[in-house]
Amino acid sequence: MLESLRRIVQEVNNAPDLERALTIIVQRVKQAVGADVCSVYLNDFDNRRHVLHATDGLRAKAVGRVRLELGRGLIGLVSERAEPINLDDAVSHPRYQRITDTGEEHYHGFLGAPIIQNRKVLGVLVLRQREKRHFGDDEVTFVVTLASQLAGAITFARTNGELARLQDDGIPQRFLPGLPASPGIGIGTAVVVYPPADLNAVPDRRAENLDNEAKDFLGAVEHVAEDLDRFAVRTQAHLSAEDMALFDAWRLMLESDTLIDGTLSRIRAGNWAPGALRETIAEHAKVFDDMDDAYLRERASDVRDLGRCILTHLQKLTAAPIQYVPNTILVGDELSAMQIADVPREMLAGIVSTTGSGSSHVGILARGMGVPAAMAVADLPVGRVEGRELVVDGYRGRVYVAPGPTVRAEYQRLAEDDAALTSELQALRHLPAETTDGYLVPLYLNTGLVSEARPLGIEESAGVGLYRTELPFIVRDTFPGEAAQMSNYRQVLELFAPRPVTIRTLDIGGDKPLPYFPMHEANPFLGWRGIRITLDQPEIFLTQVRAILRASIGLDNLQILLPMISTVGEVDEALLLIHRAHDELLEEGYQVRLPPIGVMIEVPAAVYQCEALARRVDFLSVGTNDLTQYLLAVDRNNAHVAKLYDEFHPAVLRALLQILAGARVHGREVSVCGEMAGDPLATFLLLGMGVHSLSMGAGSLLRVKRVIRSISRARAREVLKVALQCEDAASVRRLLLDALEAVGLGGLVRPGK
Ligand code: PEP
Ligand code: MG
């Protein structure tokens, strides 16, 4: 059953549209369970009904015609209860309802399983048997598991189908939901980026020169053939004749008409070579996937491997720089900071990722750059949107593909409001971040996620509150040496001098692994990360600290920040190493001053030991991104639990109060450098609590400054007092939104004036 399950899910995932996906489901499930009928009803919420969308066993004509009022019959019961219902004799059930237009006789055996995604019932998968039949536990588990796996595929195929139809007859398009990651409205053209040699991620693209595409494809096939020959010669001595036959089989597959002619004819139909190859391989692999013989079925993965090899060569042959267009909306399944940084800033109008969340590093980067972004737009068929017009609503995390004239006009208006807001904010650039009752809150910049000669926000910030040092480590294939690091740090220290620059020591691990420093961990966020790595590998830490200290000579605007601290021992050890590096440098004749040193409070343990930590260092900086993740046990990058990730959770607010109290005992200042600092809603709370400074991405500086200049500290305290009485994040959020609207600044966190 497990094998059938895997195959069905794979087939459904490869289906070109919803109709095909559902047909596959009903046929395969009916066969696997040996039922008389298998049908899928999907819920049409707009018209409050269940509609028969596919069947194997009932009259084909009934598809689309049978419509049951939402909540009626046994289908309605499954949907209502959101749990499977298994009846030996459905006819005797009070909710039984015979549907005549399906050509139904009385079916006795009934098994219905809800198809659920994100707590919402999308439809019902139903099995029927003429005779009385009690479906066994195995069968129920099989159908329930399949239904849960299918929810995503159904949503995906539905979107695919809608998009495909849109091209033909212009059916209006609904938005695709995702998570808000960076405020603003982006209207532009999709440019899809995808990881190399990932055949499934290759988009369709119109070929510019068919002959060249065909030539490249044949060239790549030739290269793979040569590789195979070379491997065969190399491994001859170690393999049996039987195993060597595998190479012949691959050669045959590679040179088969199905592969060559299939791809060439798709190229002739207008697709570029990688897209044509993807379609051919998917079709070819499916033939094997459908075979009953287990050995032959395994050949499907050989076909896919072969496809990947050809694609690798194709990409080598055709590796041209990506062509960005004015108003590029960058789209990808798993965008990286590097891919975003590759787009000239003046061309980048928006960012859409099918995975991640607002608090992942790509979301942080988008906000830092002030580019509207939506993450976790899981239903976006990435392979089909290249070159199409997209609207990104970064406030609500929505994406429209090829919007109709009404939607487009509305968003154009909102984009104009946004542009007006941006220019209005520019007027604040040289004004202090001071409340109406004269309280100054210095606003610092978070930078370092991408390499830029002149980061945005230099002039409007009080300095750098968080310089993330991971980048130079990530973009190389070995650890950077002291000199290379020093020149990096010197650049940023010089750029902001005499304003302070807080450089954080290396925080790799978690979602920032190094390609040349493999770590295989079941729970990377709870694993070897940040200070834990650098204390275990003191040579890495010492080299970095020496580079940081040397970079500050003569400027003296440096502060050092230690990430991921969870024990006082870590601070003591790190301080010892910093002092050692400092002493060494003095001995070597460098005139270097010991800078203020601070720790990040981003692990719950550090909150409870705040006082002991504050006693050891000069300042504290709260990393609310990790603190929220660890306090709420919600992975900050996981779209499935993103709804639970909320910095306004009462537990986070109480942790912040505790940190401030601990720091106060030793007279230490507390800064917030997580994303919460850049959220205009949070300004009321942080100001009310008495946080000394805030550090944020450049895109947030003026928005937050606008709030600070519009309210008094007394008002912030009042709002905080009410917020602390709220028992959940949603109530806190509502309260803050009302407070922001009351001073006429709601437009900072939602579209429109
Ligand atoms: C944080 O965790 O809030 C933080 C600022 O660090 P990073 O986002 O780099 O983990
Ligand atoms: Mg962190």
Q: Could you please report the per-residue DSSP string of 161-197? A: HHHHHHHHH----PPEE-EEEE-SEEEEEEEE---TT
**504 CB near ligand 1 (under 6 Å):** no
Sign of the C-alpha dihedral computed for residues 471, 473, 476 and 480 taken in this order: positive
Q: Which two tokens stand for residue 157?
A: 């195929």
Which residue, 451, 577, 580, 557, is CA-closest to 503?
Answer: 557
Q: Which two tokens stand for residue 90?
A: 């459905």
Q: Which residue has the tokens 């849960």?
A: 148
Cβ atoms of 535 and 508 closer than 8 Å: no
- Residue 745 alpha carbon to ligand 1 centre in Å: 27
**447 CB near ligand 1 (under 6 Å):** no
**463 CB near ligand 1 (under 6 Å):** no
**Active-site pick, 309, 610, 673, 726:** 673
Nearest Cα residue to atom 8 of ligand 1: 625
Which residue, 354, 350, 391, 389, is CA-closest to 372?
Answer: 350
Radius of gyration over every alpha carbon of the chain, rounded to an integer in angstroms: 30
DSSP 201: G
Q: Which pLDDT belongs to residue 640? A: 83
Three-class HEC string of 465-502: EEECCCHHHHCCCCCCCHHHHHHHHHHHHHHHCCCCEE
Q: Which two tokens stand for residue 395?
A: 């406030």
Residue 599's contacts (CB-CB under 8 Å, 6 or more residues apart) are 561, 562, 565, 571, 606, 613, 616, 617, 620, 621
User: Which atom of ligand 1 sits closest to the CA of residue 364?
Assistant: 8
**624 CB near ligand 1 (under 6 Å):** yes
**609 CB near ligand 1 (under 6 Å):** no
Ligand nearest to the CA of 362: 1
State the burial class of residue 211 (Cβ atoms within 10 Å of its Cβ: 0-12, 13-18, 19+): exposed
User: Which atom of ligand 1 sits closest to the CA of residue 624?
Assistant: 3
Q: Which pLDDT belongs to residue 193? A: 87
- Residue 508 alpha carbon to ligand 2 centre in Å: 10
Q: Which two tokens stand for residue 317?
A: 């042959």
Judge whether 673 counts as a catalytic residue: yes
**673 CB near ligand 1 (under 6 Å):** yes
β 109-117/120-129 pair status: antiparallel
Which residue, 149, 138, 110, is CA-closest to 24?
Answer: 149
Q: Which pLDDT belongs to residue 253? A: 83
Q: Which pLDDT belongs to residue 169? A: 32
Element (H, E) at 444: strand 443-447
User: Which atom of ligand 1 sits closest to the CA of residue 359?
Assistant: 8
Q: Which two tokens stand for residue 656?
A: 């912040």
- Residue 152 alpha carbon to ligand 2 centre in Å: 31
Nearest Cα residue to atom 4 of ligand 1: 623
DSSP annotation string for 561-612: EE-S--SHHHHHHHHHHHHHHHHHHHHTT---PPPPEEEEE-SHHHHHTHHH
**602 CB near ligand 1 (under 6 Å):** yes
| Amino acid type, 339 | Q
Q: Listing from the earlier edge strand, what are the strands of the sheet with 328-332?
A: 176-177, 398-401, 389-393, 185-192, 328-332, 348-353, 373-375, 179-182
β-bridge partners, 389: 189
Element (H, E) at 330: strand 328-332
Can you tell me the distance from the alpha carbon of 231 to that of 247, in angstroms, rounded to the nearest whole number?
9
Which residue, 573, 574, 632, 631, is CA-closest to 607?
Answer: 631
Can you tell me the distance from the alpha carbon of 1 to that of 7, in angstroms, rounded to the nearest whole number?
10
Sign of the C-alpha dihedral computed for residues 184, 190, 196 and 198 taken in this order: positive
**Number of helices (H), then strands (E), in the chain:** 25, 22
Alpha-carbon distance values, 236 to 224, 230, 249 (Å): 18, 10, 15
User: Which atom of ligand 1 sits closest to the CA of residue 446?
Assistant: 5
Which residue, 598, 603, 643, is CA-closest to 624?
Answer: 603
Phi and psi for 741 in degrees, rounded to 5? -60, -35
Ligand nearest to the CA of 694: 1
Q: Which pLDDT belongs to residue 139? A: 87
Q: Which pLDDT belongs to residue 743? A: 96
Residue 639's contacts (CB-CB under 8 Å, 6 or more residues apart) are 179, 355, 356, 357, 375, 376, 378
Can you tell me the distance from the alpha carbon of 139 to that of 90, in angstroms, rounded to the nearest whole number?
17
Cβ atoms of 304 and 285 closer than 8 Å: yes
Phi and psi for 151 in degrees, rounded to 5? -55, -50
**626 CB near ligand 1 (under 6 Å):** yes
Q: Which pLDDT belongs to residue 450? A: 67
Cβ atoms of 371 and 350 closer than 8 Å: yes
Judge whether 582 counts as a catalytic residue: no
**Active-site pick, 50, 361, 582, 649:** 361
Can you tell me the distance from the alpha carbon of 752 to that of 734, in angstroms, rounded to the nearest whole number?
18
Q: Tell me which residues of the chain have a pLDDT lower than 50.
A: 163-172
- Residue 446 alpha carbon to ligand 1 centre in Å: 10
Candidate of 467, 511, 562, 602 to mutate for ligand 1, largest count of ligand atoms within 8 Å of Cβ: 602
Ligand nearest to the CA of 673: 1
Can you tell me the distance from the alpha carbon of 730 to that of 521, in angstroms, rounded to the nearest whole number?
34
Q: Which pLDDT belongs to residue 318? A: 62
Can you tell me the distance from the alpha carbon of 564 to that of 603, in angstroms, rounded to the nearest whole number?
7
Candidate of 507, 630, 676, 686 to mutate for ligand 1, largest count of ligand atoms within 8 Å of Cβ: 507
Can you tell me the distance from the alpha carbon of 672 to that of 686, in angstroms, rounded to the nearest whole number?
8
Q: How many CB atoms lie within 10 A of CB 285?
A: 22
Sign of the C-alpha dihedral computed for residues 152, 154, 155 and 157 taken in this order: positive
Cβ atoms of 670 and 621 closer than 8 Å: yes
**623 CB near ligand 1 (under 6 Å):** yes
